[in-house]
């Protein structure tokens, strides 16, 4: 009996470790994914318009504000970006941020939590998370490489883009920070446009091309490579869990052939034996998964804030079920072995 | 008296042609309720083959197996499984018991399989009858060989089968314990009006038997 407990304990332990790694990787994949796209998800936009020659990358795309006239949609917003360093006077605080610029009342402008919306030149909204880094309302800060300054006038619910906290401003201000030649009017340069349910007005696309939001996100630098790597590791772990449970249950079945023969003699059939194996396998997996999940949640609490890690309960549930499915399939792999045990061997 | 279990004109051959082995030749056998019957024969004489055929674990090459008047061979595999569970109790040489269940749990499993609730009273009575009350909560590896075989007897009786088949139930026991187990089997057959068939190669154990069959090279003769 003790022997059995030890064996099942070992299987549970191994499944616990696998579950732990699966959940940690999933958390990291989620964290990285959020870090890259949280701001985009907040826009709730459906498509993006970039310059045709920009290789589907926002930062490489340069179009004129006037090109917006080629697009129609429920809502359309121009978008300009600058990835740079946000710093306070005398460099007291320095943070890498993703600066996003659009028109002052565009639909992608975030909702204000404190302070006010942008209502004049050289104003900046910052992600709430930056307030813990020492930035606050009314502060004059520099952004990028120029010596020009902007003033923080509002904060909004934290968001990130390309793994950096976001800041928002208007297009003219951003163009000034970028030291662009044109800093007002329709001939200003922006990186692209985002819309809700937009499309080209006519077959004249100018120099623009339309991307769905999904394509645009997948083309974020590094995004799909990261996600693919982490997800592939997770899928391999499912296969490893399946193999471990399958082998364990198979060896167990081989070792218990004599016992199963006796059971069959006594009229306890293959289905009952298999049901018992299945119950044990599922119980072991459940214990492993639940403890693995518990440890993951515990670790998430004590992780350094900089580590991109996010729990997505729906996805964790799905991965838990996948591990459980591995336990079910792993036990069922022994079906043939159990079915082939000849009860006559128990007599003799 | 009508036979609970009857085997008629049973032949069993293994293999074909040159290498064919005839394990049973025109064997006839019957046992009635309340009878304790022994089948005695040397190793390789066909005893185990007889038991597996009687239990429907193997089909005979020819001949009939009648359990309560029903021909076993015509039944489906599933029906035979149910038959075995409900009508036949087994006592094997050893390893009868499930190692990770206590004595009482072995009996509970029988009830669970039969989809009924635990018959505590019946369990108590049978365990007391075979002097096992003390070890009701012990695991098989905590029992002596004699106790283990007595538990196997309880387990076989517990489901109230028509017939109990015992395959060398004393094979792993010393002589005093062997005699004890066989005496108890005889007593249970008479007291509970059960048909009990015991296979053995040990001459000393057949004193308590009502009927003895001798088997040699597959030929069975009633003594
Ligand atoms: N599955 C089998 N295949 C071939 N020969 C078998 C098989 N089972 C039993 N035999 C043969 O049938 C004869 C009787 O065997 P068995 O019934 O096991 O004898 P016992 O139980 O009396 O020792 C032996 O010669 C044995 O070799
Ligand atoms: Mg034998």
Asked if the Cβ–Cβ distance from B95 to A262 is below 8 Å, we say yes
A135 pLDDT above the threshold of 80: yes
Query: Where does the pLDDT of residue B142 fall: very low under 50, low under 70, confident under 90, or very high at 90 and above?
Result: very high
**What H or E segment, with its residue span, contains residue A114?**
strand A112-115
pTM, two decimals, is 0.78
CA of A293 vs chain B CAs: smallest distance (Å): 30
User: In the block, which residue shows the tokens 């591990």?
Assistant: A323
Q: Is the CB of B49 under 6 A from ligand 1?
A: yes
Contact present, B175 and B186 (Cβ < 8 Å): no
Q: What is the pLDDT of residue A80?
A: 96
Report pLDDT digits (tens) over B103-113.
999 999 889 88
A2 pLDDT above the threshold of 80: no
Report pLDDT digits (tens) over A178-222.
999 999 999 999 999 999 999 999 998 989 999 999 999 999 988
Q: What is the token pair recorded at A3?
A: 């022997």
Complex ipTM: 0.82
Q: What is the pLDDT of residue B176?
A: 86
Interface of A with B (CB under 8 A): 1, 4, 258-259, 262-269, 272, 343-344, 346-348
Residue (of A241, A273, A240, A245) closest to A257 by Cα position = A273
CA distance A223 to A32: 8
Q: Which atom of ligand 1 is nearest to the CA of B51?
A: 17
Asked if the Cβ–Cβ distance from B57 to A259 is below 8 Å, we say no
Report pLDDT digits (tens) over A250-282.
998 998 888 888 888 888 888 889 998 999 899
Average pLDDT, chain A: 92
CA distance A323 to A175: 51
Contact present, B127 and B158 (Cβ < 8 Å): no
Q: Which atom of ligand 1 is nearest to the CA of B15?
A: 4
Quickly list DSSP for B118-137.
--HHHHHHHHHHTT-GGGTT
Ligand 2 centroid from CA B84, angstroms: 20
DSSP 8-state secondary structure symbol assigned to residue B205? G
CATH architecture of B3-222: 3-Layer(aba) Sandwich (3.40)
- Is residue A318 classed exposed, middle or buried when 0-12, 13-18 and 19+ CB atoms within 10 A define those classes? exposed
Phi, psi (deg, nearest 5) at residue A169: -150, -175
Q: How far apart are the first and last CA of chain A?
A: 27
Q: Is the CB of B47 under 6 A from ligand 1?
A: yes
In sequence order, which residues have a C-beta less than 8 Å from that of residue A130 and are 6 or more positions away? A86, A95, A97, A155, A165, A167
Residue A319: strand, helix, or coil: helix
Number of neighbours of residue B202 by Cβ within 10 angstroms: 15
């Amino acid at each position: 009996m003790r022997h059995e407990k030890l064996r099942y304990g070992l299987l549970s332990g191994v499944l616990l470790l696998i579950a732990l790694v699966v959940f940690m990787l999933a958390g990291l994949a989620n964290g990285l994914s959020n870090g890259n796209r949280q701001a985009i998800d907040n826009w709730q936009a459906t498509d993006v318009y970039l310059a045709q020659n920009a290789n589907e990358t926002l930062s490489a795309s340069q179009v004129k504000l006037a090109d917006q006239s080629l697009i129609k949609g429920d809502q359309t917003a121009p978008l300009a970006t600058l990835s740079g360093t946000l710093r306070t006077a005398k460099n007291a605080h320095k943070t890498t941020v993703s600066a996003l610029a659009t028109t002052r009342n565009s639909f992608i402008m975030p909702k204000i939590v404190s302070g006010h919306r942008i209502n004049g030149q050289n104003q900046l909204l910052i992600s709430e998370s930056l307030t813990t880094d020492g930035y606050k309302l009314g502060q004059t800060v520099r952004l990028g490489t120029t010596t020009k300054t902007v003033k923080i006038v509002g904060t909004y619910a934290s968001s990130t883009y390309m793994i950096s906290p976001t800041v928002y401003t208007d297009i003219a201000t951003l163009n000034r920070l970028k030291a662009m030649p044109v800093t007002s009017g329709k001939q200003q340069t922006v990186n692209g446009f985002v819309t809700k349910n937009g499309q080209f007005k006519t077959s004249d696309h100018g120099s623009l091309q339309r991307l769905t939001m999904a394509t645009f996100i997948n083309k974020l630098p590094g995004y799909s490579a990261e996600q693919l790597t982490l997800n592939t590791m997770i899928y391999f772990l499912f296969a490893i869990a399946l193999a471990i449970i399958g082998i364990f249950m198979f060896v167990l079945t081989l070792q218990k052939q004599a016992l199963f023969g006796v059971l069959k003699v006594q009229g306890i059939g293959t289905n009952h034996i298999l049901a018992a194996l299945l119950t044990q396998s599922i119980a072991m997996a459940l214990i492993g998964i639940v403890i693995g999940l518990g440890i993951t949640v515990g670790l998430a609490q004590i992780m350094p804030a900089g580590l991109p890690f996010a729990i997505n309960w729906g996805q964790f549930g799905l991965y838990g079920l996948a591990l459980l499915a591995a336990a079910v399939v792993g036990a069922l792999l022994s079906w043939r072995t159990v079915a082939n045990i000849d009860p006559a061997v128990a007599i003799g | 008296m009508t036979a609970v279990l009857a085997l008629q004109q049973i032949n069993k051959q293994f293999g074909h042609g040159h290498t064919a082995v005839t394990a049973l030749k025109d064997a006839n056998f019957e046992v009635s309720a309340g009878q304790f019957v022994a089948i005695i024969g040397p190793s390789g004489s066909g005893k185990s083959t007889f038991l597996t055929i009687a239990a429907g674990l193997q089909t005979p090459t020819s001949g009939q197996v009648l359990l309560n008047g029903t021909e076993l061979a015509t039944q489906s595999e599933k029906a035979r499984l149910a038959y075995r569970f409900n009508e036949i109790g087994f006592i094997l040489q050893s390893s009868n018991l499930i190692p990770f269940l206590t004595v009482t749990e072995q009996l509970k499993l029988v009830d669970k399989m039969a989809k009924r609730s635990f018959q505590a009273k019946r369990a108590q009575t049978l365990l007391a009858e075979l002097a096992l009350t003390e070890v009701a909560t012990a695991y098989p590896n905590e029992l002596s060989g004699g106790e283990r075989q007595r538990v196997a007897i309880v387990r076989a009786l517990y489901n109230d089968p028509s017939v109990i088949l015992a395959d060398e139930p004393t094979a792993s026991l010393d002589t005093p314990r062997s005699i004890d187990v066989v005496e108890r089997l005889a007593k249970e057959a008479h007291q509970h009006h059960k048909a009990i068939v015991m296979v053995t190669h040990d001459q000393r154990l057949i004193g308590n038997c009502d009927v003895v069959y001798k088997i040699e090279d597959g030929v069975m003769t009633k003594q």
